[in-house]
Amino acid sequence: MAEDFKVTPWEVSGDIDYDVLMQRFGTTPIDDALMKRLGKYGELHPMLRRGIFYSHRDLGKLLDEYDKGNKFFLYTGRGPSGHTHLGHIMPWIFNKWMQDVFKVDMLFQMTDDEKFLFKDLTLKETRSLAYENALDFVALGFDPKKTKIILDTENIKELYPIALKVSKKVTFSTAKAVFGFDNSTNIGAIFFTTIQAAPAFLPSERKGKQVPCLIPCGIDQDPHFRVARDAAPGLNYPKPAMLYCKMFPGLGGGDKMSSSDELGTIYTTDNPKDVKKKVGRAFTGGCVSIEEQRQKGGNPEVCAVFKYNYYLFEKDDKKMNELAEKCKKGEILCGECKQMLTQKINVFLEEHQAKREKAKDVVDSMTFDGFKW
């Protein structure tokens, strides 16, 4: 059933209908005209071409400003509740592309406070996880001169005055309606959204003028930024523009890769044996027997292996179409397909893990206001 799913910043469940979700949240689809316009700045990223980044708020206005010479900055982040998996780095890879194409600054917020408030984790644990996650972020090659990593508990002095201003514009009634809080919610959690809003306004605050902001992130984060956008005009801050992606699927066939499903989740630190095992168990659109699959073919639309190629591991559209055709005609079997994906993931992880090691030398130089981990 189309309505039978839930997407909040803290919970994603059910089969997501992304069109229904867009209507529910009131975001705008990226139409052909906007896609064409984006293509003028650089060759479109596959995540745009393929509709993985599919929805936005005020992206056209942001580009108008950019064309007039009013550069935006990028802001995205991570709630450090566990080790980094492929679902986390997918939107970061896109952010890196945006930085390269538009040559803009990037603020990356680590919400260690949020995960302390919402999860059964100590502040020491969320900080240590933030460091681990930051290595993955840095490993993707963001421009060290244009990128700063915020850790909420370290940079709170800068964030707090902005969060306070935002908090004065948000009633408890709004927070309850947007996030579903009730009387059992801890009061830190109720305040938290203002801290997540703060980096969107930080350059405006520092420079004393409106600095446009673009936030490319998962659509599950929209509730936070709806609140931030509503508060912005009353504070003389620009409303942040949003660019939303779909959730990276789990290997088990679910709509979102989740750390609660260890075997359906590929971490950036997994070794080739782990990857082989996990991909080997992936949910596919194949048939129960080889004979049947040769005869009837498979169904790539429901297949996690196919989706992995589509989202991250096969950039060539022609090759994707060929794979879909071969699958549907029974010309390729799931075993072979899984083997190819395993290899692609392992090649990616080997390179990523080497860069992740090197990131340890530079991560300190990329912290906001120079804090040390």
CA distance 93 to 268: 13
- When asked if residue 284 is in the footprint of ligand SF4 (CB under 6 A), the reply is yes
Q: Which is nearer to ligand SF4, 290 or 354 (CB)?
A: 290
Residue of the chain from 241, 305, 359, 363 that contacts ligand SF4 (CB under 6 A) = 305
Distance CA 261, CA 234 (A): 42
User: Is 298 among the residues that bind ligand SF4 (CB under 6 A)?
Assistant: yes
Residue 331 has φ and ψ, to the nearest 5°, of -90, -10
Task: Tell me whether residue 7 or residue 337 sits nearer to ligand SF4 (CB atom).
Answer: 337
Residues whose CB is less than 8 angstroms from the CB of residue 269 and which lie 6 or more positions away in sequence, other chains included = 83, 84, 353, 356
Q: Minimum distance between the CB of residue 324 and ligand SF4, rounded to whole angstroms?
A: 7
Q: How far is the CB of 296 from ligand SF4 (least distance, A)?
A: 11
Residue of 267, 306, 308, 310 interacting with ligand SF4 (CB under 6 A): 306
Of 303 and 366, the one with the shorter C-beta distance to ligand SF4 is 303
Q: Is there binding between residue 334 and ligand SF4 (CB under 6 A)?
A: yes
- Name the residue with tokens 């931030």: 228
Give the C-alpha separation, 19 to 27, whole Å. Answer: 10
Q: Is 46 in the site for ligand SF4 (CB under 6 A)?
A: no
Candidates 56-64, 126-134, 149-157, 332-340; binding stretch for ligand SF4 (CB under 6 A): 332-340
Smallest separation (angstroms) from ligand SF4 to the CB of 46: 18
Cβ burial 47-60 (10 Å sphere, 16+ → b, else e): bbebebbbbbbbbe
Nearer to ligand SF4, 87 or 286 (CB): 286
Q: What is the Cα Rg of the chain in Å?
A: 21
Question: Considering the rule CB under 6 A, would residue 286 count as an interface residue with ligand SF4?
Answer: yes
Asked if residue 121 binds ligand SF4 (CB under 6 A), the reply is no
Considering only the stretches 41-49, 125-133, 155-163, 279-287, report the one whose residues sit in contact with ligand SF4 under the rule CB under 6 A: 279-287
Strand partners of residue 109: 77, 150
Q: What's the min distance (Å) between Cβ of 328 and ligand SF4?
A: 8
The least distance separating ligand SF4 from the CB of residue 199, rounded to whole angstroms, comes to 39
Number of residues lying near ligand SF4 (CB under 6 A): 14
Compare residues 46 and 298 and give the one whose CB is closer to ligand SF4.
Answer: 298
Instruction: Among 7, 87, 285, 312, indicate the residue that binds ligand SF4 (CB under 6 A).
Output: 285
Residue 197 in the binding site for ligand SF4 (CB under 6 A): no
Provide the minimum distance between the beta carbon of 310 and ligand SF4 in the complex, in angstroms, as a whole number. 10
Judged by beta carbon, residue 81 or residue 293, the one nearer ligand SF4 is: 293
User: Which CB, 168 or 281, lies closer to ligand SF4?
Assistant: 281
Is 300 near ligand SF4 (CB under 6 A)? yes
What's the rounded Cα separation, in Å, for the pair 178 and 173? 9
Least distance in angstroms from the C-beta of 309 to ligand SF4: 8
Ranges within 310-329 binding ligand SF4 (CB under 6 A): 327
251 near ligand SF4, rule: CB under 6 A: no
Please give the residue ranges that form the binding site for ligand SF4 (CB under 6 A). Answer: 284-286, 298, 300, 303, 305-306, 327, 332-334, 337-338
